[in-house]
């Protein structure tokens, strides 16, 4: 990743918790990761960024205001990777 330009997950609200655990038949716990992707230099939202949970096929993309929501994330420590066409 180029150090001269950074993508910043300006606000990353990680709300990984129980997601209707009582209604689930399996014992696995899943949650949701939500946040906003902005340009570090301008603080403007970045739309259509790909947000992926590292090591999985789980992900989402940001809306026009830079917000994203990734559902069905396994509970525990995770790493989120953001990629955008035109950014390094």
DSSP string, 13-75: EEE-S-SSGGG-SSS--EEEEEEEEEETTT--B-TT-EEEETTSS-EEE--TTSEEEEEEEES
Residue 39 within a domain: yes
Residue 29 within a domain: yes
Number of structural domains, the chain? 1
Q: Identify the pLDDT of residue 45.
A: 95
Residue 76 within a domain: yes
Range of the structural domain that residue 48 is part of: 7-83
Per-residue pLDDT of 28-76, as tens digits, reads 788 999 999 999 999 999 999 999 999 999 999 999 999 999 999 998 8
Q: Please report, for the domain that includes residue 63, its CATH number.
A: 2.60.40
Residue 67 within a domain: yes
Residue 56 within a domain: yes
Model pTM score: 0.67
């Amino acid at each position: 990743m180029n150090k001269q330009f950074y993508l910043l997950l300006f606000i990353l609200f990680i709300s990984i918790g129980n997601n209707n655990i009582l209604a689930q038949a399996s014992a696995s716990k899943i949650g949701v990761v939500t946040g906003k992707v902005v340009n570090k230099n301008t603080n403007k939202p970045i739309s259509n960024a790909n947000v992926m949970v590292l090591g999985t096929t789980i992900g989402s993309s940001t809306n026009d205001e830079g917000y994203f929501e990734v559902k069905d994330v396994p509970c525990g420590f995770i790493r989120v990777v953001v990629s955008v066409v035109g950014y390094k």
